[in-house]
Each structure stands twice: as C-alpha cells, then as structure tokens.
A = this chain, B = another copy of it.
Amino acid sequence: MTVNRTLQKEKTRRLIIGAAFQLLGQDRDYSSISLREVSREAGLAANSFYRHFEDMEELGLTLVDESGVALRQLMRKARQRISEQSDVIRISVETFMQYIYKNPNLFYLLLRVRTGASLAFRKAVSRELQYCITELADYIQQTQGYAAVDAKIQAEAMVIVVFNAGAEALDCKPVELKRLTEKAITQLRFIARGADQFLKVQR
C-alpha cells in the first residue's frame, strides 16, 4: 500500500469513528445504531465500512478504546499541572467534568453504556475503567505512601463516584454542572480523608 493510500484509509476510518460518536451524541443507545446509519453519517457506502471494521461490535470496541485513551491523557495532563500547593482533588474533578461536558459524545459509551449486547463490549468498558483506577492508584501510592492494595481500593471508590457525577452531567443543564462538580469534590474529599484516617489507624 502506498503512503497516500494508507493515509486515505486512516482518514476514512476516522470518518467512520467520528460518525459513530456523532450518532451516540444524539442520546442513542449504541446497540440501536445500525451499520447503515453509521455509513450514511460518514458519507460512505455500507461496503466501505467492511474495509475498516468487521462489524458494529468491532467499531464499538474501537470507540471504547478511543474514549478511554482520551480520558487517561486528560487526567495525566491534569496531574502534571498539579504542584505541591494545589488542590489535587479540585483540579482533577473540575478538569474531568468540564471536559466531558464539552465532549459528551466521547464519553457516552464509557459513562452510560455499562451494559451492551455483548460481553466483549461490557468487558472493554470495564477494562477502560480499570486503567483509570490503576493510574489513579499509582498516583495515590506515590503521593500518600499507602500499600498498593489500599491505594487501589481508594482509587476505585473515587473513580466510581466521579464517573457517576460525569454520567449525571451528560444529562444536566449548564447551571447544574457546578453543583454536580462541587458534590463530587466533597465526596472525593470524604474518601481521601477517610482512607487517610483508616489507614493511619491500621498502620
């Protein structure tokens, strides 16, 4: 394949992915979106679809990957901006909530669609969640000095609570975003402080 062809192929692939995210953004369940619709939205014949993805499931798994990667890059950048004096929880939660509010299509899959026609799909979403938890757990372990197992339990509770707030934010009016963000920040402070107290006593 020539370089041009490779570039063209990648461009078409991105068109299909973009079209699927676009359809998801219209408050649609992934399982209700057809291959024909995605192709039409991408301005392609249904035949072209098959040159890039085997079926809607493979496309769906790709969307989950893309959302997960985008989310982890975002949170990694947020953590880099954090200095010793900053309020880690506030910066992280605000970054997360504002980003998904502006890019809801990217996160419909991860935040809401925790069920799906196939087990493969559900496992992919669960795996992306686990990646987020693992990265946060590493950060907690490094900064707080907890044992890996404790850091993971704390990180999991935090990610679950923030993802839940994110899922609520997808449905909410702009004025609600601030309230949801502050609520999530308080809940994460409870978890962080509780973990600190609990683990201090145990040590």
- Shortest C-beta distance, A29 to chain B (Å), equals 6
Q: Which residues of the partner chain B approach A115 to less than 8 Å between Cβ atoms? A: 29, 112-115
Among the interface residues A115, A153, A161, A164, which one has the most CB atoms of the partner chain B within 10 A?
A115
Of residues 9 through 41 on chain A, the ones whose CB sits less than 8 Å from some CB of chain B are: 27, 29, 31-32
Q: Does A167 sit at the interface, judged by CB under 8 A? A: yes
What number of A residues sit within 8 Å (CB to CB) of B?
32
Contact yes or no, A198 B189, CB < 8 A: yes
Q: Does A98 sit at the interface, judged by CB under 8 A? A: no
Q: Which residues of the partner chain B approach A186 to less than 8 Å between Cβ atoms? A: 153, 198
Known A161-B161, A187-B157: A114·B193 in contact at CB below 8 Å: no
The residues of A with any CB-CB pair to B shorter than 8 Å are 27, 29, 31-32, 112-117, 119, 153-154, 156-157, 160-161, 164, 167, 183, 186-187, 189-198
Q: Shortest 5 CB-CB distances between A and B: which pairs?
A: A194-B194, A190-B194, A193-B194, A157-B187, A112-B115
